[in-house]
Structure 1
Amino acid sequence: MKTLSALLAGLVFGLGLILSGMANPAKVQGFLDLAGAWDPSLALVMAGAIGAAFLPFRLAGQRKKSWLGEPLHLPGTREITPRLVLGSLLFGIGWGLAGLCPGPALVLLGTLSGPALVFVSAMLAGMELFRLLQHKRA
């Protein structure tokens, strides 16, 4: 049942990314181009996503387990750290340059899109570099 629910959630998420335009790098870059030909349509997508997720996240905060009986792992802190700020800046820069973030990139990977292949390869390399640096630091 867990695998089926994960599959269905992934399909709904991927379909939502495609239908909303979030998997279209040109549309995303148009949204991020505040000083140029700004395309505000993705702001409506984000507002809709926040609205749709607000109540479920409120309810999840009051539960210890998911509907499938799995433990919920919600963030335990709201602290804004230099590491969080730096990671957010790097994420935003990558999103702006590529017009992709991890979710849409994985959706596009299914189409064997060249930019998605490059993006996902670079993302995986960055994750491995982070892991190595963390290991060396510890």
Structure 2
Amino acid sequence: MRAVVQRVRRAAVTVGDERVGRIDGGLCVLVGVGRGDDDADADALAEKVVGLRIFEDEAGKMNRSVLDEGLEILAVSQFTLFGDVRKGKRPSFVEAMEPVRANELFERFCATCRALGAPVETGRFRAEMQVELVNDGPVTILLDSKRLF
């Protein structure tokens, strides 16, 4: 699984005219599920995201997590994180997982984040979404569950 983690002041997801997810501060996490990913990938990625120390402490050092700060996570499924443009200019998505299992793993990622104590809002799986955010810092971290350990 892959994730783009952005520290945000606020973030929201809209589908059509309906706001489906919103946070007032924390992390906006774009999550992609790839072929070959499993429950262990979802759990490992969730543990890493929830524990990321990318919020500043009293000394101005990145030393605090979303849990330490009492903030939230907005998780948005995004299969395009597995887009491959090595051949040509149009992305190939053959490395993205099929939708049914991808949704299961995305939901497991969210459930694990919640079980670890982080409130989680989400977008809507397979919907055309508009994601709005105010990046704080900016701080953006790229994660891949296959490269966490």
- Using the size of structure 2 for normalisation, the TM-score is 0.24
Name the structure with the higher helix share. 1
Structure exhibiting the larger radius of gyration computed from Cα positions: 1
Could you say which structure has the greater relative contact order, defined with CA pairs below 8 angstroms and 6 or more residues apart? 2
Name the structure with the higher strand share. 2
